[in-house]
Amino acid sequence: MIDNDEGAYADYYEVESFDQLCRDLLSANSSRYQAQAEELLKYGHLEGELNGYKYAYKLERNDCLFTLVLSPSTEFKQYARTYLHWRKSKKKEHIPLFFAQCEATLLTD
């Protein structure tokens, strides 16, 4: 007997649509993400604003932190973290995907 759990299907479709949004953002903003990745790798931090949120990315050894300013506070709070390979070339490959995931999260909130 198959158990039809509607909640599980809803979660699956939410994940699929989020993944699709990430892919769409990555393809639409590829050159911007590459330029931002270069800046992040050069200076170790990057700040910006999207969808009314101020955000910052910060490199710490092999981690990239994504932080947000949550109003009315002016203090950054850690929102997401990803592990990055120690090679710079691998970081250049992964950072744009992390940017897309973070932007997708902001756009869906």
Give CA–CA dist 45/86, Å, rounded.
17
- Phi and psi at 60, nearest 5°, equal -135, 105
Give CA–CA dist 86/63, Å, rounded.
9
Residues 25, 39, 81: CA angle, nearest 5 degrees: 60
Q: Going residue by residue through the chain (109 aa), what tens digit of pLDDT does each one get?
A: 334 444 443 444 466 788 899 999 999 999 999 999 999 999 999 998 887 788 899 988 888 888 887 666 566 566 677 777 777 777 888 889 989 988 888 887 6
For the chain, how many residues are written? 109
Whether this model's pTM surpasses 0.95: no
